[in-house]
Amino acid sequence: MSNFKSKNMPDSSQSAKKARPGKKRLPRSRYKRDEIVEIFSRFKQQRQAPEGELDHVNPFTLLVAVVLSAQATDVGVNKATKKLFKIADTPEKMLALGEEQVREHIRTIGLYRNKAKNVILLSKMLIEDFNAQVPEDRDQLIKLPGVGRKTANVVVSMAFGQPTIAVDTHIYRIGNRLGLAPGKTPDEVEAILEKIIPEEFLFHAHHWLILHGRYVCKARKPDCEACIIADLCKSKEKTCDAPAAIVKLAN
């Protein structure tokens, strides 16, 4: 999921399990409603129904893949889990496989020792507390080892069809760079986006923003000439005002 940390993105690994901001006044988006509607309308024209890029076969393997994706690329995670998921696609099979074997399968991923430990611990907890089923409730998911708010949001969205915004480094960067959701923390960015994005776009908004950040509005140098919302963008880093033509892409 390309969840590597940006230098400008606060570490939410510890704060993810804490309560979200209460009635604290959120920063305002720089965009009016009609501009936001136009932005997401164009994203929808480009990718009708985008999907995540992590390979999985069920909610459990999705959960494991997202946990492994922290500070790793989707491509790297998919390579590591290709063989793993063939022999361990349930909590029972993963627990039986054991931490050492899980570690061997994912050793090409950063922080693989700690991640292998968490995969075994969450598998054990799923068996003992959730009848070996991945819970559909975000608050229950966050109780699992290695699972923070972002991971839980991805799982409830992709596995159970709940509209959520999982703020990774791409969404955090775009929210602040464009002024779309200028939050100081991932939780603030999430809250702002959930407030301003029209309901009709909310379910796919997470993936649209991630893909835009991954392939167009890149961290080091945004590719403004390839941006379909260049005319709407209010970023100070913008290098052109003419939007790229919208070409339909595979989901």
Rounded to an integer, what distance in angstroms lies between the CA atom of residue 7 and that of residue 4?
10
Rounded to an integer, what distance in angstroms lies between the CA atom of residue 150 and that of residue 168?
7
Please report, rounded to a whole number, the percentage of residues in the chain having pLDDT higher than 70: 90
Query: Would you state the pLDDT for residue 23?
Result: 63
Active site residues: 150, 168
Counted residue by residue, the chain has a size of 251
pLDDT tens digits for 173-183?
999 999 999 99
For residues 110-130, give the mean pLDDT: 97
For residues 6-34, give the mean pLDDT: 65
Positive/negative CA dihedral, 91, 168, 199, 147: positive
Read off the pLDDT band of 47 (50, 70, 90): very high
Distance (Å) of CA 58 to CA 63, 76, 148: 9, 19, 20
Under DSSP, the state recorded for 224 is G
Positive/negative CA dihedral, 247, 161, 54, 82: negative
Nearest to 79 by CA among 106, 53, 59: 106
For residues 142-154, give the mean pLDDT: 95
pLDDT tens digits for 214-239?
999 999 999 999 999 999 999 999 99
Which of these ranges, 36-45, 90-99, 161-170, has the smallest mean pLDDT? 161-170
- Asked if residue 248 has pLDDT above 50, the reply is yes
pTM of this structure: 0.81
- Asked if residue 22 has pLDDT above 60, the reply is no
Domains of the chain: 27-53+163-251 (1.10.1670.10), 59-158 (1.10.340.30)
Q: What is the mean pLDDT of the chain?
A: 91
Contacts for 106 with CB less than 8 Å, ≥ 6 apart: 68, 80, 81, 84, 112, 115, 116
Read off the pLDDT band of 12 (50, 70, 90): very low
